[in-house]
A and B are shown apart, each in its own frame.
Chain A
Amino acid sequence: MTLTRGSLAALVTLIIGAICLMLEPSFDWVVKWPAAWTLPITQWLGDGVGTVLQVLKPGTRLIAAGLQTVLDVAGAALAGMPWPLLLGGTTALGWYLGGLRLAALGFLGLGYVLISGYWIESMATLSLVLVSVPMAALAGLAIGILAYEVPRIKNGVQAVLDIMQTIPTFAYLTPLLVLFSFGPVVGLIASAIYAAPPMARNVLLGLERVDSDIREAAIMSGGKRWQQLFLVELPAATSQVMVGVNQCIMAALSMVIIAAVIGGFGDIGWEVLLTMRKAWFGPALIAGTVIVMFAVVMDRMSFALSQPRRSHSSRVLMVIGLLTLISAAVVALAYPDPSRISLLGGISDAMNSALTDVNVSYGASLDSVKNTAMFYGLLPMKIGLDNAVLPFTWGFEWTSSHTVWYFATVIGIGALLAWRGHVTGGLVAVIVAGMLETGIAELPWPFVLVGAAAIGWVPGGWKLARLPLIWLTVILLSGLWDKSLQSLYLSGAAILACGLLGGLLGLWGALSVNAWRVLQPICDMLQTIPLFVFLIPVIMFFQIGDFSAFLAICMYAIAPMIRYTRHGLTTTPDEMIEAAVSSGANTRQILTEVRIPYAVPSILLGLNQTILYAFAMLVIAALVGTTELGQLIYQSLTKNDVGLGLASGGAMLILALVADRLVQGFAEERRKALGL
């Protein structure tokens, strides 16, 4: 019998796993990488980067002072201007960009901010966004153009952009704190760093997609290089560049909110964090909704920039302008202080007590939901059946005889599968069952290394097998292995849940137009809301801990899975479906035989996005009390420990990138096989 590539990889992994299990009782180092074998990477990073930072510090402090001035001016202008000006201006902008729909959105969104009582805090956040977006957009534009003009550096630039977007956002807050000292400028710089890559990426993409005939026509018209670029190529790429602006604005807002954890700039993110810590969920919800309003208004308006525009009556624009000015004058005289227009104060208190009531009266059921998920799902995944099965939860104690019976059954099932022709399936079933018995956080490291390499070897050969081997070894040497496995468990559980549930929802959305009508706005919403806000509902109902973190990650990471699955399933070429119909296939057969196989690359891309989203959220989820790398990064921030922050951020980056490359490898292989 000849083994396929997949079954060979699975067999090797299984053998290594089995050996590790046998060695485990007598050799401790199989599971726990000994401290003596680690290198003080954290220390080196801290010292090395620390020295560099000290050298840069005088210069950056000067920049910080300059930016602080700009920020002060913007903040004073926004907070000082009569609020009808901003409200009217946003409404007018909405009308100009998208007619009645966006005008209404702008008016209602800003109106909500006004009556929420958080106007002043909101203006602090808005001034950060207003200063950081132009910085990020210009930097992104410059980087995009540079990468386009100098093809030699293109690959390098793209790799750096990848890293900048994948490295956990908290990880570079610590070095920035050292450079720019405590204050809003750190949030500003961090959000500019975070928001520049999507802009650069879209500029590059847009320029590369300009039709070659258009490019050549500009040359043949006798344009100089700068004329070709600025008069023809960039304008021809406008709609893609505007997609970049949209993503840039959303990233900047998201990061400005996250940077609030540093505290001290009296902005809306800080308000949410504060009320959440005090368990004042009424105000937390209202402040969180302010963030959502900002996000939705900014997203929809900047998205309108990338769409072909219809002009809307300028008369209406003038009416809005006039009304704005009149009310601004009146308000400036009558109600100078917008923070006193807090119409939601009473509602907030009512909500607070209502939520407390809910938590009191349904506390038991909420707890039982949480405990069921923990005891029968998350805990076994984390520490394995052998440790998680206890008398007071499962009703009995896991003993070594259970282990023997468990493995005997599993091997039997695996053998049956293999005998029926599914050799790889049988082997994988045994491996997965073994992992469940051991627990992800307690997997032996040789097994993880060989397993990851084997997964890479299947689609990508030795080249893709080497990557996880080298990089995971770096984590081992750094001494962050335990925490990394915990991260792997938490994100793995969320990714598994998102993959299954998101895949099913995507399938549902593909089969039913009505279902998609419901799902699409939900997905849009989940992808618009800044990460931070996801924490409010989970912490409200389930307090802090792994389960809350798991839920928050799932909420954020499920959207791409739904979207890509549906997209893959609905874009099957008509000819293929017609060919299947004329071959006599029924609806179910068309789905399983044609549409799903054709959608696999797209579904894998969705999974890939879900993985990256999950890792991004992992760090934010640390705020609700986890025990993994994200927590280390968060702690490094409070302890001002540059080395720890960078090392654990780096470890998380490695995990995310390795997972990304492995899934991409499979997606690529499928695309090639389908000739796409």
Chain B
Amino acid sequence: MSEAKSAAPAIAVEGLWQVFGSNARAVLNEVRVAGGMRETASKLIDKGLIPAVREASFEVASGELFVIMGLSGSGKSTLIRCISRLIDPTSGAVRIDGEDILTAKDARMIELRRHKLGMVFQHFGLFPHMTVSDNVGFPLKMQGAGKAERRKRALEVINLVGLEGREDAYPRELSGGQRQRVGIARSLAVNPDIWFLDEPFSALDPLIRRQLQDEFLNIQATLKKSIVFITHDIAEALKLADRIAIMRDGEIVQIGTPTQIVLNPVDDYVREFARDIPKGRHMTLGEVMEPMGEAALAGDWPELRTGMSLEDALTRCAASFEAVPVHDGDGKVVGMVRPENFVKALGGETS
């Protein structure tokens, strides 16, 4: 029993449908075509229903950071609300550590939320009438924890997100970035295993956003939660994800590592997303090299490793070339350029 549980993925979603409209469940059962997701969806639309999530299936391994990426209206927010059971899916299964939560009783859901699940919201969802530390301590209050204990644990997580000193402020006194830090702290207060983040950084300025992304990665490096992270920003997805699911019109069109998404987009839709991404930063040398036996190539080569990004590798290769002179309009030499300067300039921020 305990072995079967530990072998189960942290989150498993199977054949999940969320259909909006009257009598959705009955209609879905009636028109469902086995294996024909698109056909089923078009029949539902014909009947005036809205299939917001269409037969979504994926698994999130323990400690994995799984990003769901899609444009607005693609169904990604609906999907995360199905997995956290903020809304009841029309059909399918969601298992958390092997336990089907769609059939779980309300009392069991409250139990799970008090101990195992944490969620961060796009517009923060802070309680306006509570201080920062009361907001963070709220899930503990629901557990029945005492005042002193709540305060102690709240201060711990408030420090973790870098808000020490603001614990007695009210949400209205905080900036957007600070508010979301509170939201993150609150979702971590009960030390959940599963962490849902619904576009947590979308409402923030670009600079603050990057800062919070970096801190989020640091937190995750130490805490190792199993994460479902929603975003509409492909750059954010590629930066954060272990694996990415791309959604369009309620359908998951591709699941893969950032490299797979960039290198092998399944269709033009995904390719469009990947187009503006500097590929050299997301592809590694191992993925483009030609295999070879044990034979050694003679010479004094820069040290390349399979895990290096193409940008890094190119910089190192280019470093072994001589500098080239640059002339002005009259043919006079005015400067010189090393090939590695090109790579650095074009690649943007390489180390």
Q: A219-B113, A220-B84 are in contact. Are A213 and B142 (CB under 8 A)?
A: no
Give the CA-CA distance A579 to B111 in the complex, in Å: 56
Nearest-neighbor residue (CB-CB) of A228 within chain B: B142
Q: Is the CB of A221 within 8 A of B142?
A: yes
Q: Which residues of A contact B125 (CB under 8 A)?
A: 211, 213-217
Q: Is the CB of B126 within 8 A of A214?
A: yes
Q: Say which residue of A211, A215, A222 sits within 8 Å of B110 (CB atoms).
A: A222
Q: Is the CB of B127 within 8 A of A217?
A: yes
Interface centre among A211, A216, A218, A222 (most CB of B within 10 A): A222
Q: Which residues of A contact B150 (CB under 8 A)?
A: none
Q: Is the CB of A222 within 8 A of B127?
A: no
A305 contacts chain B at the CB level, 8 A cutoff = no
Q: Say which residue of B143, B183, B196 sits within 8 Å of A222 (CB atoms).
A: B143
Q: A219-B113, A220-B118, A221-B113 are in contact. Are A235 and B129 (CB under 8 A)?
A: yes
Q: Is the CB of B117 within 8 A of A220?
A: yes
B114 contacts chain A at the CB level, 8 A cutoff = yes
Q: Is the CB of B139 within 8 A of A238?
A: no
Give the CA-CA distance A219 to B196 in the complex, in Å: 13
Q: How large is the interface on B (under 10, 10 to 19, 20 to 34, 35 or more residues)?
A: 20 to 34
Give the CA-CA distance A211 to B186 in the complex, in Å: 17
Q: A232-B127, A235-B129 are in contact. Are A220 and B113 (CB under 8 A)?
A: yes
Q: Is the CB of B127 within 8 A of A236?
A: yes
Q: Is the CB of B86 within 8 A of A222?
A: no
Give the CA-CA distance A218 to B139 in the complex, in Å: 8
Q: Which residues of B contact A224 (CB under 8 A)?
A: 110
Q: Is the CB of B124 within 8 A of A222?
A: no
B138 contacts chain A at the CB level, 8 A cutoff = yes
Q: Is the CB of B129 within 8 A of A227?
A: no
A223 contacts chain B at the CB level, 8 A cutoff = yes
Q: Is the CB of A214 within 8 A of B127?
A: yes
Give the CA-CA distance A604 to B115 in the complex, in Å: 53
Give the CA-CA distance A231 to B117 in the complex, in Å: 20
Q: Which residues of B contact A235 (CB under 8 A)?
A: 127, 129
B281 contacts chain A at the CB level, 8 A cutoff = no
B344 contacts chain A at the CB level, 8 A cutoff = no
Q: Which residues of A contact B187 (CB under 8 A)?
A: 220
Q: Is the CB of B119 within 8 A of A220?
A: yes
B6-41 residues with Cβ-Cβ distance < 8 A to A are none
Q: Say which residue of B113, B121, B129 sits within 8 Å of A236 (CB atoms).
A: B129
B122 contacts chain A at the CB level, 8 A cutoff = yes
Interface centre among A213, A220, A221 (most CB of B within 10 A): A221
B183-218 residues with Cβ-Cβ distance < 8 A to A are 183, 186-187, 190, 196
Nearest-neighbor residue (CB-CB) of A225 within chain B: B106
Nearest-neighbor residue (CB-CB) of A223 within chain B: B142
A409-438 residues with Cβ-Cβ distance < 8 A to B are none
Q: A236-B128, A236-B129 are in contact. Are A219 and B123 (CB under 8 A)?
A: no
Q: Is the CB of A222 within 8 A of B122?
A: no
Give the CA-CA distance A395 to B186 in the complex, in Å: 84
Q: Is the CB of A222 within 8 A of B111?
A: yes
Number of interface residues of A (CB under 8 A): 19
Q: Is the CB of B119 within 8 A of A216?
A: yes
Q: Is the CB of B129 within 8 A of A213?
A: no
Q: Is the CB of A222 within 8 A of B121?
A: no
Q: Is the CB of B86 within 8 A of A216?
A: yes
Tell me the minimal C-beta distance from A448 to chain B in angstroms: 41
Give the CA-CA distance A219 to B87 in the complex, in Å: 11
Give the CA-CA distance A269 to B86 in the complex, in Å: 54
Q: Is the CB of B114 within 8 A of A222?
A: yes
B125-155 residues with Cβ-Cβ distance < 8 A to A are 125-129, 138-139, 141-143
In the complex, per-residue mask of B172-187: 1 if CB is within 8 Å of any chain A CB, else 0 = 0000000000010011
Give the CA-CA distance A238 to B190 in the complex, in Å: 28
Nearest-neighbor residue (CB-CB) of B111 within chain A: A222
Q: Is the CB of A219 within 8 A of B114?
A: no
Tell me the minimal C-beta distance from B340 to chain A in angstroms: 48
Nearest-neighbor residue (CB-CB) of A219 within chain B: B86
Q: Is the CB of B129 within 8 A of A211?
A: no
Tell me the minimal C-beta distance from A212 to chain B in angstroms: 8
Give the CA-CA distance A236 to B172 in the complex, in Å: 13
B66-82 residues with Cβ-Cβ distance < 8 A to A are 81
Q: Is the CB of B121 within 8 A of A213?
A: yes
Give the CA-CA distance A217 to B128 in the complex, in Å: 12
Tell me the minimal C-beta distance from A306 to chain B in angstroms: 14
Give the CA-CA distance A223 to B129 in the complex, in Å: 17
Q: Is the CB of B123 within 8 A of A220?
A: no
Q: Which residues of A contact B114 (CB under 8 A)?
A: 221-222
Give the CA-CA distance A420 to B124 in the complex, in Å: 59
Q: Is the CB of B127 within 8 A of A220?
A: no
Tell me the minimal C-beta distance from A305 to chain B in angstroms: 14
Q: A222-B111, A222-B142 are in contact. Are A217 and B119 (CB under 8 A)?
A: yes
Tell me the minimal C-beta distance from B192 to chain A in angstroms: 10
In the complex, per-residue mask of A226-246: 1 if CB is within 8 Å of any chain B CB, else 0 = 010001100110100000000
Nearest-neighbor residue (CB-CB) of A216 within chain B: B86
Q: Say which residue of A217, A223, A236 sits within 8 Å of B186 (CB atoms).
A: A217
In the complex, per-residue mask of B283-309: 1 if CB is within 8 Å of any chain A CB, else 0 = 000000000000000000000000000
Q: Is the CB of B117 within 8 A of A213?
A: no
Give the CA-CA distance A305 to B125 in the complex, in Å: 24
Give the CA-CA distance A221 to B123 in the complex, in Å: 16
Give the CA-CA distance A220 to B186 in the complex, in Å: 10
Q: A219-B86, A219-B113 are in contact. Are A227 and B127 (CB under 8 A)?
A: no
Q: Which residues of A contact B196 (CB under 8 A)?
A: 220
Tell me the minimal C-beta distance from A207 to chain B in angstroms: 14
Tell me the minimal C-beta distance from A330 to chain B in angstroms: 42
Q: Which residues of B contact A213 (CB under 8 A)?
A: 121-125
Q: Which residues of B contact A221 (CB under 8 A)?
A: 113-114, 138-139, 142, 186
Residues of A bordering B, CB below 8 Å: 211, 213-224, 227, 231-232, 235-236, 238
* 28 chain-A/chain-B pairs, Cβ below 8 angstroms: A211-B123, A213-B123, A213-B124, A214-B127, A214-B128, A216-B86, A217-B119, A217-B121, A217-B127, A217-B186, A218-B138, A220-B84, A220-B117, A220-B118, A220-B119, A220-B196, A221-B114, A222-B111, A222-B113, A222-B115, A222-B139, A222-B190, A223-B110, A231-B138, A231-B141, A235-B127, A236-B127, A236-B128
Other than A214-B128, A215-B125, A221-B113, give 4 A-B pairs with Cβ distance below 8 A.
A211-B125, A220-B139, A222-B114, A232-B127
Residues of B bordering A, CB below 8 Å: 81, 84, 86, 110-115, 117-119, 121-129, 138-139, 141-143, 183, 186-187, 190, 196
Identify the 4 closest CB pairs spanning chains A and B, nearest first.
Answer: A213-B125, A222-B114, A217-B125, A222-B113
